[in-house]
Structure 1
Amino acid sequence: MARNHSYDYIIIGGGVAGLTLASRLSKTLPHTDEKQILLLEAGTDPSNTESIQTAMGGYTARDSEHAYALSTVANPHLNGRTTLVHVGKALGGSAAINGGAWTRGPRSDYDYWAELVGDDAWSYDNLLPYFRKTERVVMASNDSRDDIHHGYDGDLTIVPIRANWPKRKYPLRETVQKAWEEVGVKYISDGNRGDQNGLMEMVEVWVEGRRQLPGKFYDLSRVEVRDLCTVQRVTFELQAPNQDPKANGVDLAGGEHIVANKEVIISAGVYHTPQVLMLSGIGDSALLSKHGIATVVPNVEVGKNLKDHLGVGLTWKLKHPEKGLAIGSPLLTDPSYFAGWPMDFIEFNQVEDPGKLKSLVENPKDLEFLLREGASHMELVTVYAPMGQRLTGVDAAFDGSHITTLSICVATTSRGSVTIRSTNPDDPPIVDPNLNSTEADRYLLREALRRSSRVLLRTESGKSFVSHEVTPEGYAAITEDTTDEEMDKRIQEFGVSIDHAMGSCAMGRVVDSHCRVKGVTGLRVVDASVFPVPLACHLQAAVYATAERAAAWIVRGE
């Protein structure tokens, strides 16, 4: 079948943002015989890959053909290690490989975002309609409908863990909750209402153990989707003197040119969106010149401001695994227990002494960000399984006798970068997350590790089920009394990206508050790369909402 060479909208990237935009925009265009929205995806449809579809297989999805495994530059703040970061290379993007947690983050993150870019459209309350539009929340038997904060008719099914009871009521749930209560942490039945600090009920997007792929639940009947397509550059036409260049299409690797009548939208993700911009002549002029790329718009901020969450896992030996987690117990014999991640809660909180940050942070804006009321500094997770070498430095037996705690710095002040390696769009970008590079981040992660240890080793409930930490060879167990130097050594050796990258084309620096690329017309960026602040959450809820927000503007020509 002959292909069109002219479309109203060309969307680069078939991840969460790109698919949301494509589906929403397609419903607003007049019906014609020819499709007027083109979506270009470098990967393929993963819906027939079992390791992608199932929660059990999902543990290895990030290592599949449907993911980019990008090598980072050596990090001097992590013992000079070169690590891998992962993003989706599939129709569905990172929704095809992620862990499926659904957290929005705190109200204060979005309100700070709105203040930073001078546009109240990004405040939490003004984003609420777009969060709700995505959701189809499944209610537990005792839940009441909450139409102010949640949606019940959206495209994506949202499932609180308790809605799966009794099938997935884990044996350690009550004991873990009591341990947190003993250190003064409140239980929050719904952490997706703008206040997540406390012991938040886990919410996920797994449905009976199956992954929800946006390429399947969104209506794309009026969208032309091309997979295995790599974009070489966005093209521009010069307008009248003193007017900004206008994006008028794309060149594909191989030479095909496709015309965009209205807009080109880049939704290629945090690592590849800045690569597309640079290959198109938008970026640091000195860098572009080095690669023989003519500058269309000079902007040194393209690829800067990269932020990510750094985490460290601890492996714990259980005292009495035979009481619920060992071989022969329901946890390891009933498939329903692994119909999602084996966990009940996520704990978000601030450090107990925020004032200490004043002596560690030199940048006034970073200090303002960290000391906001309602901010979340850390995320702590208890997983009822060993998480392996990458996250903990320990390969514990998967026999029900071990669990893992993850300690994560989510209010990061470390900033990295993304840049191009060459003019070949198939060459991976150069990624420098620069994680663990600030005193504030190191302090927050040390405090997160101490908090994890305290809950399990200093409470009666914790001591009732945990025997000891199983440590990497040559390392002592982490306790509240572990010195900062010992903590830092563990973090430097075993800290890893939690694959929550954002901000490489930050709003206010690369795009305006309507996601329009500065210095040109007809070109937007819509994905997590535009986030101007590090959101304290798992990012997919925010990406869906951002795409819904942008789609409404695009439809109105704003």
Structure 2
Amino acid sequence: MATDGPNLASTYEYVIVGGGIGGITLAARLHARLPEASILVLEAGSDPSTHELATSASTVSAVRSNADLTWQLPIEPCKGLGNRSSIAQVGKGLSGSGAVNSAAWTRGPACDYDLWAHSVGDQGWSYESLLPYFKATECVRGMKINEDHHGYEGLIHVVPVKANWAKRTYPLRKAVQEAWAQSGVDYIEDGNAGDPLGLTELVEAWDEGKRQLPSKSFDLEGVDIVTDTLVHRVTFTQDQGHEPRAKGVELISGQHINATKEVIVSAGVYHTPKILILSGIGDPQTLVAHSIPLVHGNPEVGNNLRDHLSVALTWKLKHPEIGLALGSPLLTDPSYANGAPLDFIQFGRVPTNLHTEMLLTSKEDKALVLRPKACHTESILLYTYMGPHMSGVNVPMDGTYITTVTANLAPTSRGHVSIHSKDPQQPPKIDVNANDTEVDRHILREGLRNISKVLHETPSGQSFIDSQVPPEGYPVLLPDSKDEAYDVRIRDFGFTLDHPMGTAAMGKVVDASCRVIGVNGLRVVDASVFPVPIAAHIQVAVYALAARAADLIAKEQ
């Protein structure tokens, strides 16, 4: 049952704060396991299912800048990015970022999940253990691929671009694939089978160009869902000699909702630590500074923020008719609006040496970067011009230009989320601290150098690329350009992919069952619990996390 305001019962067994991918998946899976349990989902935003911008692949750019559908969260000036400030655009409303993301469907490498399991001492988070949850979520359409690793009966339809050849045949597909091959990159038939290092097909969660909102895909009959309702804090009871226990949540209206079994916070990587801090769980110094009564002191709340920093490069084509322009004959076929204008994702591993190892100052970072199967970078080639807001280049959208985007998937830089004040309507204070470590600069620099080699030095790349077009006043980034030239471009034009993770990290803020350490009756189920960065577009990992969390909760009853 969905309603648009706080007209609801005063007591539930489970109260879920946040109706994003994590909260919706958790609610649906938990209800399936415990059909008699009363479950409430509280969502601060609205229901986007009737909003035209949230339904189509062709409107991703517009939806991300729409304040009705996304939180436009200010990010503090970042030293590693030339003291630039920016905006984090994350989903606001039922389905969360599942209503606004680009719908790329990537799991990341098995070794990331295995590192997660090792770091928290629980093999239930390993790739092998999460595989049933990956399979149960997806329904691969259009072709059969590696049935040991994939599902065909899940609720989220996913389609490899390869299966769409007859509908979306991009003129540059063959040349791009050959350029990567000529640079020594292997083609991987299935990038979602645990080892994506190489060139893989893009897989998307668009269904004939339409977005699949989790809030519409999952069976939520029997779950109470209330939108446009902002939670102020979690409330607690505390008996002498016992840990505090979550008793419910207080809304900004002052209304209190009781939770007789658990409160589960699934408010997202930026809002979850804000809610914990406002509830009295966090760094004691922060709580004192804002006159918030201490429930449990934990300086790790809000720490360990990671995101995928990326840089876009603009390239001029020798033959503009093979690019995608506004009004291009290619785009008169509506099937080209069914997904992103690309065919492949390249997952790469940059060279490491003794110097790199010496720069890694913690065991955590050594394990993250030095694993043999670790994916350090992601590179994509878009068959269109990305725009000056990302690339720093202003050229016509006439089919003459294409864009490459390269991201650091193994960030060792860590940011922080806190609060500006105790006012629950204030946005969280976000310091991404991106590009802070020399290892991160090395990874992104070498990833960019690699794409420069692919397009500047291979016969296939030379056959369709006329030149690289840098921002005004900046040099072309050639394979032999000095490190400083790459570092300046990263500093001045790097942007995050809005894949935040880790601000309530498992092993530091929550235990291996997602229970908040130091209190009872409170869990966190969203990407903030990731103890290590996942080298992927993170929605797949969140679906699996929430599904397993539902099983863990149900088994404890």
TM range (shorter): over 0.9
**1:36 matched to which residue of 2?**
38
Instruction: Give the residue type in structure 2 aligned to 1:223.
Output: V
How many residues align? The count is 551
Larger mean CA deviation between 481-490 and 522-531 belongs to 481-490
TM-score of the pair, normalised by structure 2 = 0.97
Write the deviation string for residues 387-421 of structure 1: whole angstroms up to 9, x where unpaired.
Answer: 11222111222222111000111100000000011
SS at the partner of 1:292?
coil
| C-alpha distance after superposition, 1:220-267 (max 9, x if no partner) | 11111111111111011113x322111110000010001101110000
Q: Structure 1 189/12 Cα, relative in aligned 2: closer, same or farther at 3 Å?
A: same
Give the corresponding residue for 2:227.
227
Q: Is the aligned partner of 1:88 residue 2:87?
A: no
Report whether the alignment pairs 1:135 with 2:134.
no
1:98-247 counterparts in 2 under 5 A?
A: 98-140=101-143, 143-144=144-145, 146-239=146-239, 241-247=240-246
Contact 1:271 1:429 survives alignment (8 Å): yes
Shift of 1:552: 0.3
Deviation at 1:165, TM superposition (A): 2.1
Q: In 2, distance between residues paired with 1:360 and 1:27?
A: 48
Q: In the alignment, is the contact (CA less than 8 A) between 2:15 and 2:259 conserved in 1?
A: yes
Whole-Å separation in 2 of the counterparts to 1:545 and 1:500:
16
- Which stretch of the first structure deviates more once superposed, 320-329 or 294-303? 320-329
Residues 1:323 and 1:204: Cα distance change in structure 2 (over 3 Å): closer
What is the deviation of 1:362? 2.5
**1:71 aligns to what?**
74
Q: Hey, what's the Cα distance between the residues in 1 that align with 2:223 and 2:12?
A: 10
Aligned partners of 2:354, 2:405: CA distance in 1, in Å? Answer: 25
Give yes or no for the alignment of 1:7 onto 2:16. no
Partners of 2:157 and 2:373 lie apart in 1 by 28
Aligned equivalents of 1:283, 1:5: Cα separation in 2: 27
Cα distance in 1 for partners of 2:462, 2:163 equals 29
Q: Detail structure 1 runs of 4+ shifted over 2 Å in the superposition.
A: 27-31, 322-333, 352-356, 359-365
From 6, 13, 30, give the equivalent of 1:25: 30
In the alignment, the residues of structure 2 paired with residue 274 and residue 294 of structure 1 have an alpha-carbon distance, to the nearest angstrom, of 16
- Whole-angstrom CA distance in 2 between matches of 1:281 and 1:156: 37
Q: What SS does structure 2 have at the residue aligned with 1:275?
A: helix
What SS does the aligned partner of 2:249 have? strand
Q: After the TM superposition, which of the residue ranges 327-336 and 57-66 deviates more from structure 2?
A: 327-336
Q: SS where residue 114 of structure 2 aligns?
A: helix
Q: Structure 2 vs 1, CA of residues 354 and 110 (structure 1 numbering), >3 Å: closer, same or farther?
A: farther
Q: Which residue of 1 aligns with 2:379?
A: 380
Aligned to 2:547: 548
Whole-Å separation in 2 of the counterparts to 1:225 and 1:30: 16
Aligned position for 1:97: 100
1:440 aligned counterpart, secondary structure: helix
Take 1:497 and 1:210, find their aligned partners in 2: how far apart are those partners? 25
TM-superposed deviation, 1:51: 1.6
SS in 2 for 1:47: helix
What SS does the aligned partner of 2:467 have? strand
Mapped to 2, the partners of 1:297 and 1:503 lie a distance apart of 19
Shift of 1:354: 4.7
- The superposition leaves residues 186-239 of structure 1 with CA deviations (integer Å, 9 ceiling, x where unpaired) of 111211010000001100001111111001111111111111111111011113
Write the distance in 1 (CA, Å) between the matches of 2:395 and 2:355.
36
Alignment of 1:119-518 (within 5 A): 119-140=122-143, 143-144=144-145, 146-239=146-239, 241-323=240-322, 325=324, 329-518=328-517
Q: CA deviation at 1:338?
A: 2.2
45-54 or 120-129, larger mean C-alpha shift: 45-54
1:123 deviation in Å?
A: 0.6
**Deviations, residues 459-496 of structure 1 (Å, cap 9, x unaligned):** 00001001111111101111111111111111111001
Is the Cα–Cα contact under 8 Å of residues 357 and 367 in structure 1 kept in the other structure?
no
Bigger shift: residues 392-401 or 229-238: 392-401
Task: Quote the Cα distance in structure 2 between the aligned partners of 1:152 and 1:375.
Answer: 28
Opposite residue 112 of structure 1, the aligned amino acid is L
Contact 1:37 1:223 in 2 (8 A): yes
Distance in structure 2 (CA, Å) of the matches to 1:30 and 1:332? 47
CA distance in 1 between partners of 2:459 and 2:326 (Å): 26
Distance, in Å, in 2 between the alignment partners of 1:350 and 1:393 is 26
Task: Describe the superposition over 1:324-375 as per-residue Cα deviations: whole angstroms up to 9, x where unpaired.
Answer: 6457754332221121101000000111345442243233431232111200
**Cα offset, 1:323, TM superposition:** 4.4
CA distance in 1, matches of 2:123, 2:320: 51
Cα separation, 2, equivalents of 1:323 and 1:311: 25
SS of 1:103's equivalent in the other structure is coil
Q: Structure 1's 355 and 321: CA in aligned 2 closer, same or farther, altered over 3 A?
A: farther
Contact 1:330/1:337 (8 A) holds in 2: no
Change over 3 Å in CA distance of 1:328–1:509 after alignment to 2: closer
Percent of aligned pairs with the same residue?
Answer: 52
Q: Is the 8 A contact 2:323 2:401 kept in 1?
A: no
Structure-1 residue corresponding to 2:63: 61
- Which deviates more, 337-346 or 365-374? 365-374
Q: For 1:410 and 1:30, how far apart are their aligned partners in 2?
A: 39
Q: Could you list the per-position Cα deviations for residues 79-120 of structure 1 after superposition, in whole angstroms to 9, with x for gaps in the alignment?
A: 111111111001010011111100000011111111110101
Describe the superposition over 1:401-447 as per-residue Cα deviations: whole angstroms up to 9, x where unpaired.
Answer: 11100011110000000001111111000000000000000011110
The farther-off stretch of 473-482 and 328-337 is 328-337
Residues 14 and 393 (structure 1), Cα distance of their counterparts in 2 relative to 1, 3 Å cut: same
What is aligned with 1:538? 537
Look up the SS of the partner of 1:406 in the other structure.
strand
* AA aligned opposite 1:10: V
Q: Which amino acid aligns with 2:111?
A: S
Paired amino acid for 2:197: N
Tell me the amino acid that sits aligned with residue 39 of structure 2: I
Q: Which amino acid aligns with 2:8?
A: R
Q: Which amino acid is 2:190 matched to?
A: D
Structure 2: how far apart are the matches of 1:327 and 1:251?
49
Give me the whole-angstrom Cα distance separating, in 1, the residues matched to 2:326 and 2:506: 50
CA RMSD, Structure 1 to Structure 2 (Å) = 1.4
Q: Note if contact 1:297-1:519 (Cα within 8 Å) is conserved in structure 2.
A: yes
